[in-house]
Chains A and B, each alone.
Chain A
Amino acid sequence: MFVRDVFPLFQQKCFSCHGDDPQSIMGGFNMSSREGLLKGGVSGLPALAPGSPEKSRIYVAASWQDADLQMPPREKNRLNTEQIELIHKWIALGAPWADTTTPPKEDAWVQASLDSGDGVIVPTSGGLSQAWSQRRYQAEDLWAFQSVKRCPIPWDDPKDGDKGNPIDAVIDRKLKQAGIQPAGPAHRRIWIRRASFDLIGLPPTPQEIRRFVEDESPEAYEKVINRLLASPHYGEQWGRHWLDVVRYADTSGFANDYERPNAWRYRDYVIRSFNEDKPFNRFIIEQVAGDELDPANPELLIAVGFLRAGPWEHTAMSVAAETRQFFLDDVTNSVGESFLATPLRCARCHDHKFDPIPTRDYYRMQAVFASAQFAAADAPFLPRENQAGFAEGKQRVQRLLKEARDALAIIQAKEDAAARVWFEESGLSYRPKKERRKLPEDQRPPRYVGLTYQDLGVRKALQKRIQRLSRQMDRYRPLAFSVDNRPATKPAKAGARQAKPRVDKVPQTHILMGGSVYAPGESVTPGVLSALPGSHDQKAPAAFNTIPISRDGRRLALANWLANPNNPLTTRVTVNRIWQYHFGRGLAGNPNNFGKTGTKPTHPELLDWLTQTFIERGWSIKSLHRLIMGSQVYRRAGYEPEMRKAKEKNPANQLLAYFNPRRMSAEELRDSMLAVSGELNPEMGGLPIKPEINMEVALQPRHIMGSVAEAYQPSRTPAERNRRTIYAYRLRGLADPMLEVFNQPNADASCERRMASTVTPQVFSLFNSQNSHDRALALAHRLMQERDNLSQRIQWAYQLAYGRGPTTDEITQASTFFDSTVTYHHQHPPKQQSPPTQVKRHMFEEMTGEAFEYIERLDVYEDYVADLKPWDVGPQTRALADLCLVLMNANEFVYIY
Chain B
Amino acid sequence: MEQTPNAVEDKQDTGTLSRRDFLFGLGPSIGAIAFSSLLATEEAPAAASSPLAPKQPIVPAKAKACIFLMMEGGPSHIDTFDPKPKLQGLHMKKFVRTGKNFSAMSSGNRYYVQSPFSSRRVGRSGADMSDGFKHLAGVADEICFYRGCQAESVNHPAAMYHMNTGNRFGGDPAVGSWVTYGLGTLNQNLPAFIVLPELAYPQGGAANWSNGFLPAHYQGTPLRSSGSPILDIHPPAGISRDHQRRSLDLLASLNQAHLEKHPEHDELAARMANYELAFRMQMEVPDIIDIDREGEKTKALYGIGAEGTDAFGRRCLLARRLVEQGVRFVQVYSGGWDSHDFLERAHGALIHSIDKPIAGLITDLRQRGLLDETLLIWCGEFGRSPDNGVRDGGVAYGRDHNPDAMAMWFAGGGFKAGHIIGATDDIGAKAIDVVHPIRDMHVTVLRQLGLDDNKLTYFHGGRFKQLSQFGGSLIKELIT
Contact = CB atoms under 8 A, between A and B. Distances in A.
Interface stretch (B89-97, B206-214, B297-305): B206-214
B247 A748 contact: no
B462 A763 contact: no
Given A759-B217, A886-B254, A890-B258, A254 B157 contact: yes
Contacts of B265: 638-639, 661, 895
Contacts of B212: 749
Contacts of A891: 254-255, 258-259, 268, 271-272
Contacts of B73: 846
Contacts of B233: 764, 768
Given A696-B228, A756-B12, A891-B268, A319 B103 contact: yes
Given A757-B13, A759-B274, A848-B342, A343 B232 contact: no
Nearest to A756: B14
Contacts of B224: 696, 700
Nearest to A894: B271
Interface string B145-167: 00000000011111000000000
Given A644-B264, A748-B171, A436 B393 contact: yes
Nearest to B52: A759
A740 to B, nearest CB: 8
A interface residue count range (under 10 / 10 to 19 / 20 to 34 / 35 or more): 35 or more
Interface in A317-370: 317-321, 326, 342-343, 345-346, 353-354
Given A599-B10, A763-B278, A886-B250, A773 B201 contact: no
A329 to B, nearest CB: 9
B277 A703 contact: no
B49 to A, nearest CB: 13
Nearest to A869: B236
B155 A254 contact: yes
Nearest to A807: B257
A194 to B, nearest CB: 14
B272 A769 contact: no
A762 B275 CA distance: 9
B104 interface: yes
Contacts of A762: 274
A813 B255 CA distance: 13
Interface in B183-221: 199-207, 210, 212-213, 215-217, 221
Contacts of A756: 12-14, 267
Contacts of B236: 768, 770, 773
A850 B213 CA distance: 39
A694 interface: yes
B115 interface: no
A189 interface: no
Contacts of B250: 813-814, 817, 883, 886
A225 to B, nearest CB: 25
B463 interface: yes
A847 B207 contact: no
A889 B251 contact: yes
Interface string A466-480: 000000000000000
Contact of A354 (B210, B268, B335, B462): B462
B340 interface: yes
A597 B203 contact: no
Given A843-B200, A886-B247, A850 B210 contact: no
A764 B171 contact: no
A753 B262 CA distance: 24
Given A319-B100, A436-B393, A850 B349 contact: yes
Contact of A255 (B203, B235, B347): B203
B338 interface: yes
A848 B262 contact: no
Nearest to A734: B205
A99 to B, nearest CB: 34
Given A437-B393, A597-B459, A773-B235, A701 B10 contact: no
A735 interface: yes
Interface in B342-369: 342, 345-350
Contacts of A831: 237-238
Interface stretch (A55-63, A373-381, A586-594, A720-728): A586-594
Contacts of B24: none
B278 A764 contact: yes
B295 interface: no
Contacts of A386: none
Interface in A627-663: 638-639, 641, 643-644, 647, 652, 661, 663
Contacts of A589: 10
Interface in B385-420: 392-395, 398, 401
Interface in A428-451: 436-437, 441, 446-448
Given A584-B12, A891-B259, A518 B238 contact: no
Interface string A162-205: 00000000000000000000000000000000000000000000
B327 to A, nearest CB: 14
B6 interface: no
A821 B243 contact: yes
B interface residue count range (under 10 / 10 to 19 / 20 to 34 / 35 or more): 35 or more
B263 A890 contact: no
B88 interface: no
Contacts of A446: 394
A539 B247 CA distance: 71
Contact of B461 (A255, A592, A694, A697): A592
Contact of A870 (B238, B264, B338): B238
Nearest to A814: B250
A2 interface: no
A13 interface: no
Contacts of B455: none
A724 to B, nearest CB: 23
A641 B263 contact: yes
A428 B350 CA distance: 39
A824 B216 contact: no
A761 interface: yes
Contact of B216 (A342, A743, A844): A743
A820 interface: yes
A746 B171 contact: yes
Contacts of A814: 250
Contact of B231 (A255, A761, A821, A870): A761
Contacts of A257: 205
B174 to A, nearest CB: 13
Nearest to A824: B243
A641 to B, nearest CB: 6
Contact of A317 (B103, B345, B394, B459): B103
A353 B394 CA distance: 54
Most buried by B among A254, A257, A701, A882: A254
Contacts of B461: 343, 345, 592-593
25 contacts: A254-B204, A317-B105, A319-B101, A354-B462, A447-B393, A597-B463, A641-B263, A663-B267, A708-B200, A749-B213, A756-B13, A757-B217, A760-B277, A763-B275, A767-B275, A769-B231, A817-B250, A821-B247, A828-B238, A833-B237, A842-B199, A849-B348, A886-B247, A886-B254, A890-B255
Given A590-B9, A597-B459, 6 more contacts: A584-B12, A694-B232, A702-B201, A757-B216, A759-B217, A814-B250
Interface of A: 253-255, 257, 311, 313, 315-321, 326, 342-343, 345-346, 353-354, 436-437, 441, 446-448, 518, 584-585, 589-590, 592-593, 595, 597-599, 638-639, 641, 643-644, 647, 652, 661, 663, 694, 696-697, 700-705, 708, 732-735, 737, 741, 743, 746, 748-749, 755-765, 767-770, 773, 810, 813-814, 817, 820-821, 824, 828, 830-831, 833, 842-844, 846-850, 870, 882-883, 885-887, 889-892, 894-895, 897
